[in-house]
Amino acid sequence: MDSSRVPRYAGPATFARLPRLDEVGGTADVAVVGVPFDTGVSYRPGARFGGNAIREASRLLRPYNPAQEAAPFALAQVADAGDIPANPFDIGEAVETVQEAADGLLDSGARLMTLGGDHTIALPLLRSVVRKHGPVALLHFDAHLDTWDTYFGAAYTHGTPFRRAFEEGLLDTSAVSHVGTRGPLYGRKDLDEDARMGFGIVTSADVMRRGVDEVTDQLRLRIGDRPLYISVDIDVLDPAHAPGTGTPEAGGLTSRELLEIIRGLAGCRLVSADLVEVAPAYDQAEITSVAASHTAYELTTVMARQIAEGRTGQ
């Protein structure tokens, strides 16, 4: 949509003011899809409203990305696929619904840029991606490990998706990493069990001390040419940069550091991504939603560049 003719605050709030999926014939190279679901949270709810908050903030995105020297929406057909209506009263049914909807979008040829919702949704999304690509490398940006076993006896929550993904054989355990973790744990056992699943850890302090370039080089080396799934919990950012989230932890990444790491992953085989845990009720002046919209934009640009390069044989 031409912002010189239609003001940015006017018109439907699709992601980056892009067309809806039905307006481009029902198929797209990258489908931006929302999952308004937060029944799996363990502290503050509200992430069910995150997808639409990100869409509203994305009205300010422009079609050329100078950091990646690309016009993503010219390189690939990107469309907003609307929301997946997950049952807010039944986590098991919601997980099945998300997986079925993701299967349909991936079968149409799209890669997914999913806007959560809480981190529970990463599990069905990974199941769907692995159905198409086989076990994937995982890059998980988060303040927390999310490899715990259960909460109150529940196996499917926002703190357990990557434990379940490991148990189900969804991950290439030679290429799985957490980035931005920090804060207190329940005990040393948390780290030992996480290491048993194959995860490498780059803490937020590591990024600060070693710098973005060195960290990104390490991640690229670990990922190699494997199909890659990226999952971003917005609480990877320090609360100064993302107050609108359910479980904030002090000492996080800056938005600049997060964006630069993602930009440095251009060329990796990014097959789909999610961005979760934006809770606008706790946001201040849309700080979190703006950071999330730019993060989704960078991830979409990485995918669009790969799609275009694949078409030209580069």
Q: What integer pLDDT is reported at residue 214 of this predicted model?
A: 98
Q: What is the DSSP letter of 282?
A: G
pLDDT > 90: percent of the chain? 95
Going by C-alpha positions, the residue among 148, 152, 103 that lies closest to residue 125 is 103
178 belongs to an annotated ligand binding site: no
Q: Tens of pLDDT along 156-171?
A: 999 999 999 999 999 9
**How far apart, in Å, are the Cα atoms of 124 and each of 15, 76, 86, 116?**
22, 25, 12, 12
**For 80-126, how does the pLDDT look when each residue is reduced to its tens digit (9 = 90+)?**
999 999 999 999 999 999 999 999 999 999 999 999 999 999 999 99
237: exposed, middle or buried (Cβ count in 10 Å: 0-12, 13-18, 19+): buried
Residue 133 known to bind ligand: no
> Could you tell me the residue ranges of all domains in the chain?
15-134+228-312
**pLDDT (average), residues 67-90:** 98
Q: Does 149 carry a binding-site annotation?
A: no
Q: What percent of the chain has pLDDT over 70?
A: 99
Q: Residue 313 — pLDDT band, cuts 50, 70, 90?
A: low
Please name the helix (run of DSSP H) or strand (run of DSSP E) that holds residue 232, with its range, or none: strand 227-233
Q: Are 171 and 165 in contact (CB under 8 A)?
A: yes
- pLDDT of 311 reads 74
Does domain 15-134+228-312 correspond to CATH entry 1.10.10.10? no
- Is 146 annotated as a binding-site member? yes
